[in-house]
C-alpha cells in the first residue's frame, strides 16, 4: 500500500484508511466483536495503517473494538478518534455538543483507556461547538499535545473561518469531512484553504454512504437502525434519480475493468497527494475491493471526462436531515 502525508504535519499514513464506525454504529446492527476484530486486523495485513473511530460511535464500543483489534500492532498504525459530544453516562444517549476544554480532557482520558494506548495519533473535534471559541478548543488540544497524550490535532466538518482560527493556535494536521462524487461542496472553499495552509484532507463516506458501489437502488431496504432511513438523499425517489451517477461510474469502471466503488475512490486519490479517503465496510471482500482502488490510475483525460459527465447530473436530496445539516460547515 502506498503512503501519503497529511499536509505539512509529517503524519504519514496508508493512501486509503479504514473508517471503523459502521462496525458498531450507524448502518444497522453492530457486527459480532470477533468479526470486527478480524476485519480490522485483515486491513492491517493488507497494508492499512490509518484507522478512524470516535467516542460517539456506539457510544464507546467502537473505540473499544479498535483498541483491542490494534493493540498487537499499535506501533505500526495511526489511530484517529474524536471528541465533541455530550453523552449521558447512564443511557449512552447523545444530548448536544460539548467542546469545553475540561470536557475534552476528560474524553481523552476515556479514549486512551478504550484504545489501549498512551497517545492518540490524531484527535479531531467531531463537530464545531458554537458555544466554545475554537481558540479554546485548539488551546486545550495543544496542552494535550504538550503532555504527550495527543500527537496531532484535527477538525471535522468545519468551515474555512474556523479552520483558519484553529490553525493559528495549534496547527491542524487534517480536516475530515464528507467528500465524494455524491457530495462535492468541499471543492469550492475548503480544499483550496487546506492546500494554502498545508492541512491534509480525510474524506469520509467516499462511496456516498454505499450508494456509489452500485449495490443500492430505489427498492433497497435498510435495517430500522440504519441512519440512511432519515437521510433525504436516500428516499426511494431520490435514489432512483441519483442512479444516473452510478451509471456513469459503471461505464468508466467497465472500460478500466474495475468496479464503480474503485473508480469513486480513485477519483478522490487523483485530486491531491494529501487526500486520504477512509471507506468503511463490515465485509472482507469489500475491504479488498476498496483497497484495490489505490492501484487504479485515472489520467487527467479520465478526470476531465468524469467532470464533464458529472456536471450534467443534479444530485437529488439533501445529504443530512435539517437538524444535522445545522452542525456542519460552521
Report yes or no: 128 and 94 within 8 Å, Cβ to Cβ. no
Query: What are the start-end ranges of the H helices in 227-259?
Result: 236-256
Task: Confirm whether 57 is a catalytic residue.
Answer: yes
- Tell me the three state secondary structure of residue 173: strand
155: left (phi over 0), alpha (psi -120 to 50) or beta: beta
What are the distances in angstroms from CA 324 to CA 123, 317, 329? 21, 14, 11
- Among 16, 54, 87, smallest CA distance to 154 is for 54
Retrieve residue 140's grid coordinates: 486545550
The CA distance from 268 to 54, in Å, is 23
Residues whose CB is less than 8 angstroms from the CB of residue 195 and which lie 6 or more positions away in sequence, other chains included: 272, 274
Angle among Cα 140, 141, 145 to the nearest 5 degrees reads 120
- HSE-up (13 A, CA, CB side) for residue 114: 24
- Among 177, 158, 111, 168, smallest CA distance to 136 is for 168
Retrieve residue 131's grid coordinates: 458555544
Rg (the chain; Cα; Å): 19
Catalytic residue among 25, 50, 57, 183: 57
β-pair type (94-97, 50-52): unpaired
Report yes or no: 147 and 154 within 8 Å, Cβ to Cβ. no
Report yes or no: 122 and 108 within 8 Å, Cβ to Cβ. no
Catalytic residue numbers?
57
Amino acid at each position: 500500500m502506498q503512503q501519503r502525508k497529511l499536509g505539512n504535519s509529517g503524519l504519514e499514513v496508508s493512501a486509503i484508511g479504514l473508517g471503523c464506525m459502521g462496525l458498531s454504529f450507524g448502518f444497522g446492527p453492530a457486527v459480532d466483536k470477533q468479526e470486527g476484530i478480524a476485519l480490522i486486523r485483515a486491513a492491517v495485513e493488507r497494508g492499512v495503517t490509518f484507522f478512524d473511530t470516535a467516542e460517539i460511535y456506539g457510544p464507546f464500543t467502537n473505540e473499544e473494538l479498535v483498541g483491542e483489534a490494534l493493540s498487537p500492532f499499535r506501533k505500526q498504525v495511526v489511530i484517529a478518534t474524536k471528541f465533541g459530544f455530550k453523552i449521558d453516562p447512564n443511557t449512552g444517549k447523545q444530548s448536544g455538543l460539548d467542546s469545553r476544554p475540561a470536557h475534552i480532557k476528560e474524553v481523552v482520558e476515556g479514549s486512551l483507556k478504550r484504545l489501549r494506548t498512551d497517545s492518540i495519533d490524531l484527535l479531531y473535534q467531531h463537530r464545531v461547538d458554537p458555544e466554545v471559541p475554537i481558540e479554546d478548543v485548539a488551546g486545550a488540544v495543544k496542552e494535550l499535545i504538550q503532555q504527550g497524550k495527543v500527537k496531532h490535532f484535527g477538525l471535522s466538518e468545519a468551515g474555512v473561518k474556523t479552520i483558519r482560527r484553529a490553525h493559528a493556535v495549534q496547527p491542524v494536521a487534517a480536516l475530515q469531512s464528507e467528500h465524494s462524487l455524491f457530495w462535492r461542496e468541499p471543492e469550492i472553499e475548503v480544499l483550496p484553504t487546506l492546500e494554502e495552509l498545508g492541512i491534509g484532507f480525510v474524506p469520509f463516506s467516499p462511496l456516498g454512504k454505499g450508494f456509489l458501489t452500485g449495490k443500492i437502488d430505489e427498492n433497497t431496504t435498510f435495517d430500522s437502525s440504519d441512519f440512511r432511513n432519515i437521510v433525504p438523499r436516500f428516499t426511494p425517489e431520490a435514489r432512483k434519480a441519483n442512479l444516473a451517477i452510478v451509471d456513469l461510474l459503471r461505464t468508466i469502471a467497465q472500460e478500466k475493468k474495475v468496479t464503480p466503488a474503485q473508480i469513486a475512490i480513485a477519483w478522490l486519490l487523483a485530486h491531491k497527494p494529501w487526500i486520504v479517503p477512509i471507506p468503511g465496510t463490515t465485509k472482507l471482500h469489500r475491504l479488498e475491493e476498496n483497497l484495490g482502488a489505490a492501484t487504479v490510475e485515472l489520467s487527467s483525460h479520465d478526470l476531465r471526462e468524469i467532470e464533464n459527465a458529472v456536471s450534467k447530473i443534479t444530485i437529488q436530496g439533501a445529504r443530512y436531515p435539517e437538524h444535522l445539516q445545522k452542525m456542519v460547515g460552521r
